[in-house]
Amino acid sequence: MTTLEKLLEVRKTRGAGYLILIDPDKIDPAKLPAFVRDATEAGADGFLFGGSLLLSNEIDKLIQLIKSNTSLPVIIFPGSLFQISPVADAILFLLLISGRNPDHLIGNQVTAAPIIKRSGLEAISTGYMLIEAGKTTSAEFMSNTRPIPHNKPDIAVAHALAAELIGMKLLYLDAGSGADFPVPDEMIQKIAKHSFLPMIIGGGIRNPEVAREKVKAGASFVVTGTINEQNSQHSLVREFAEAVHSVQFANRKT
């Protein structure tokens, strides 16, 4: 079973999935094994690995450290061309469809494709959309693109439909690390109504109830990162996992 198939199976059996983003620049490697084991036991469905800067030069070592402490998928969420490792289970092959910077629409992808192909790494084609979140995020600054306004859901729908027609497998709507507020429920609802692509929602999700609301709106996967960096309590991860898994989104397209 491919990593994408495993993710879709989680969505099918649990209603939605809970993913934890690990930024190697923001976590102590000495604490990483215990955190990964605790998160796995607490009900997380997988781990994303990456960051906008990634100052660490030990990507393979860190990913292997995560994998040696969990049976869950470990997926690279790349912030640059340098974030590729054959050690991971898969990589989100991102196209920043919300922006108009050609480097992030095709340029970097052309450069990365031969490397990923040679590595044998599973690439999951993903339409990546930055959503306005009340402040300039690292992803917005580093990509040199403007996010989709949070009060313009129809623009987001049009981008989601373009991703679907192009043949992408997932959508990732990201308010960004440390966002003032998350992706709006109305935007998620409208995309879910018009597109069958599974949606990953991240950025600004600071409590389990907000995570639950994102799934009720139509999210297939919810991602938390900053809140885990600030508070690594086992109980908090469990609360997020239970909130995400408590909702069956009856109106989701299949």
* Domain range list for the chain: 3-245
Kindly report, residue by residue over 161-184, the tens digit of the pLDDT: 999 999 999 999 999 988 999 999
| Residue 35 pLDDT greater than 60, yes or no | yes
Q: Can you give the pLDDT at residue 133?
A: 92
Q: How many CA atoms lie within 13 A of 79 on its CB side?
A: 25
Q: Return the percentage of the chain with pLDDT > 70, whole number.
A: 93
pLDDT band at 254 (very low <50, low <70, confident <90, very high): very low
CATH entry 3.20.20.390 includes domain 3-245:
yes
Gap between the Cα atoms of 79 and 142, Å rounded: 9
Highest mean pLDDT among 57-66, 129-138, 216-225 belongs to: 216-225
Q: Can you give the pLDDT at residue 28?
A: 87
Of 136 and 17, more confident: 17
Kindly report, residue by residue over 43-91, the tens digit of the pLDDT: 999 999 998 776 667 899 999 999 999 999 999 999 988 899 999 999 9
pTM: 0.94
| Residue 95 pLDDT greater than 90, yes or no | yes
Mean pLDDT of the 195-207 span: 96
pLDDT band at 251 (very low <50, low <70, confident <90, very high): very low
Tokens of 208: 């389990």
**Nearest in space to 214 (alpha carbons), one of 17, 25, 12, 5:** 17
129: left (phi over 0), alpha (psi -120 to 50) or beta: beta
Q: How far is CA 143 from CA 48, 90, 123, 137, 252, in A?
A: 19, 22, 21, 10, 31
Gap between the Cα atoms of 16 and 245, Å rounded: 6
